[in-house]
Chains A and B, each alone.
Chain A
Amino acid sequence: MLAKRIIPCLDVTAGRVVKGVSFVELRDAGDPVEIARRYDDQGADELTFLDITASSDDRGIIFRIIEKVAEQVFIPLTVGGGVREVGDVRNLLNAGADKVSINTSAVVNPQLVADASARYGSQCIVVAIDAKQVQPGKWEVFTHGGRKATGLDAVEWAQKMQTLGAGEILLTSMDQDGQKKGFDLALTRAVTDALEIPVIASGGVGNLQHLADGVKIGGADAVLAASIFHFGEYTVQQAKQYMAQQGIEVRL
């Protein structure tokens, strides 16, 4: 059967992989190409790169990184951050990305999701949703790295993105992100149950049980984590073995 995917996430700025707690206190985790190769060797199912560069001057760096990674790593590569128009999608695909993740721009201009998926196929369009709980069982979409409320309901927004042509949803809990206390499982379950397309759970992984819970309780099709892998707490292989012991189908 189809394996649940484990996806290490590399936040990249100024040519380095970094990780912070709720977007502050960035800590250097190393060279992105080197880290990508290491995760590939460990059996990662995909890799996600988020360009968190603030300055538009440095936007070219991510292309060179993706080009280098794509020459050496033959698993799916997703790239997001700062994607504003169909031309940005094209440039990232040409650099070697297999999927492009759209976040803030999907809210600003939902037609971008429709246009990009019509042009390149929904298989390469991921819509990233950053959500915060506003009341029990209710989550709101935030943009601009979690700073800006949109008034949109996360579940309804995910459904709309599916209708417009998203091939996959990358769902991050802003409440849990960087906290290492586990995914927002209720949010994950609510979104995955509402959709036909796969959902990647993100935000809050601190140990291997959290990954397993994302699949078993949250119903996620894939789980994304950053710091537990970057700083050597666990390898991807260990994560997969742990999940397999819990009866989860993984690619070993």
Chain B
Amino acid sequence: MVDIAVVDYGMGNLRSVQQAVRKVAPGANIIVTGEPDVIASAARVVFPGQGAAPDCMREIRARHLDRVIAGVVREGKPFLGICMGLQVLFEHSEEGDTPCLGLFQGPVKRFASGLLDAQGNKLKVPHMGWNRVHHGDHPLWAGIAQDARFYFVHSYHVQPRDAGLVQATSDYPQPFVCAVARDNLFAVQFHPEKSAAAGLQLLQNFVNWNPL
């Protein structure tokens, strides 16, 4: 019995995700896998991802993970998307003009370049570092302070068509969506596995989450 599958589609390093999930679920059977059958058999699925959208989508399709992900979501199993694992759930990414999975409606857009902060310094892209997360009252935020900081590294951000899906925003310099949820699906732009205590708390909440 696989308790938690961390989906591996060859995009980036999953070691950190695996370590952090193990830390919050020490007794669980956690498997890093790209095997559709193993993912489909897991009780919970973590869907990370790094790199560029065109490469991610190519690998997801080549490994037939698009169908598996849709199946997991349909069956109501807790599903956590992280970083690119959030972006590819949307319809389309501006990065490489890439059609994505379309589980959420809306595009993925690049941060504008050349913006300045309050001190007149250039706002760098990628948005890299610790930023404040303004969150709602979803169970995955339990025990996490309002405006807690999480670690981000990304150049693109999601724009859900349905504002009701938004579970958190951050500012760079304009507000952008950094978490969405629907039913058993929760996905974040930041890296909980690299966000110290707040990140581990979110992963702990995911491991304990029983969506209705």
| A residues lining the B interface (CB < 8 Å) | 1-5, 40, 45, 70-71, 74-76, 93-98, 120-124, 167-168, 192-193, 195-199, 216, 219, 221-222, 251
Contact = CB atoms under 8 A, between A and B. Distances in A.
B200 interface: yes
B149 A167 contact: no
Given A120-B51, A121-B52, A197-B124, A93 B15 contact: yes
A96 B13 CA distance: 8
Nearest to A221: B124
Contact of B16 (A45, A98, A197, A222): A98
B211 interface: no
B180 to A, nearest CB: 21
B149 A221 contact: no
B129 A197 contact: no
The binding surface of chain A is classed by DSSP as: loop
B113 interface: yes
Contacts of A198: 124, 126, 128-129
A74 B20 contact: yes
The binding surface of chain B is classed by DSSP as: mixed
Contact of A124 (B13, B130, B151, B171): B13
A94 B23 contact: no
Nearest to A93: B13
B64 interface: no
Contacts of A192: 121-122
B15 A74 contact: no
Interface in B25-76: 50-52
B195 interface: yes
A1 B173 contact: yes
A71 B171 CA distance: 31
A78 to B, nearest CB: 12
A124 B126 CA distance: 11
A93 B18 CA distance: 13
A244 to B, nearest CB: 13
Contacts of B194: 74-76, 98
B129 A121 contact: no
Given A123-B126, A198-B128, A251-B149, 13 more contacts: A1-B171, A45-B129, A45-B130, A70-B15, A70-B16, A71-B19, A96-B15, A96-B19, A123-B154, A167-B128, A197-B124, A197-B125, A198-B129
B139 interface: no
A199 B124 CA distance: 9
Nearest to A216: B119
A98 B151 CA distance: 12
A167 B124 CA distance: 10
B15 A94 contact: yes
Contact of B131 (A1, A96, A222): A1
